[in-house]
Amino acid sequence: MNTLPHTTHPAVFKARGRLIPLDAPVLMGVLNVTPDSFSDGGRYLDPAAAVGRACAMIEEGAALIDIGAESSRPGSEPVDQAEEIRRLLPVVMEVCRRTTIPISIDTTKSHVARVALDAGAAVINDISALRFDPHMGDVVAGTGAGLVLMHMQGRPQTMQQAPSYGDVVREVKEFFVERMEAARAVGIGPEQILLDPGIGFGKNLSHNLSLLAHLEELTALGRPVLVGVSRKAFIEQVLGRPVGERLLGTAAAVAVAVLKGARVLRVHDVGQMRDVMEMVEAIREAREQAAGWL
Ligand code: HH2
């Protein structure tokens, strides 16, 4: 039998000189400072509420906080970069002042990324994987920031209209190989990169479930995998639950992702998902010990 997916890649993620160990999975807490995000839109537009939420998620066990000021839900409208910065900056500055954990910025715009990195952020979570802004790669390379390369078919405005793949897992893998090469070409080191299959981004239910079911194939590409399943519509498509009732569906998907080797779980419900993650991880470790992996 081969080694488990967990053992096949270097487990360190480097972001602006900081080494974030990923030998075990960690949680990335989601903070949306937007009026229109699909699950928490409007709740953290006030900077004080946003900073309070970030601190609460850190208390609950988040190893990273991902702050976004532009919703990417299906059909969402793009936000002007001045507005994105206006929403982000006070929150990023204050969260960075209060904590030492790395702050990630969910943006596709290089200018927004640069301003946020100057304010103390350490990671850029680019859902376009360096494709929407030709200067994003230079900003990440020049600052040594960590980078999430996420797969998406199409753009948020139209991505759910007719997602189509021959073999979704193979195509996402090929996309990662191509985007890692694009990152390398502008001077971004492999240790700066996390790979994310982009659950819900230009994918129907069967595409999303296939990617989760075959996640170990993505972990074999040499970089840690980040997965964002939290409260997403595919859970409603299976369970018929509205957005406020997707905690258990999220827990099931997080459990599978951890078991299949995901190292960063992007979630809204940090405290609850910490229990899920630690429980699954304990079982996984027992399996490895029994098989002589540890
Ligand atoms: N999902 C969302 C946003 N950003 N980034 C990565 N890397 N992976 C994801 O799965 C991902 C992401 C969508 O969730 P959310 O931020 O809660 O909603 P919205 O885009 O409506 O703000």
Pick the closest to residue 171 from 131, 203, 123, 136 (CA basis). 203
Across 165-170, average pLDDT: 97
State pTM to two decimals: 0.95
End-to-end Cα spacing for the chain: 15
Average pLDDT over residues 31-46: 93
Return phi, psi of residue 162, to 5°.
-155, 60
Ligand 1 binding pocket, CB closer than 6 Å:
30, 32, 34, 37-39, 68, 71-73, 106, 125, 127, 148, 150, 196, 198-199, 226, 228, 266
| ∠ Cα 61 89 77 (to 5°) | 95
73-119 confidence digits (pLDDT tens)? 888 889 999 999 999 999 999 999 999 999 999 999 999 999 999 99
Q: Which of 14, 203, 266, 284 is catalytic?
A: 266
pLDDT at 204 exceeding the cut of 70: yes
To the query of whether residue 266 is one of the catalytic residues in this protein, the response is: yes
For atom 3 of ligand 1, the residue with the nearest CA is 72
pLDDT tens figures, 46-59: 999 999 999 999 99
* Average pLDDT taken over every residue of the chain: 94
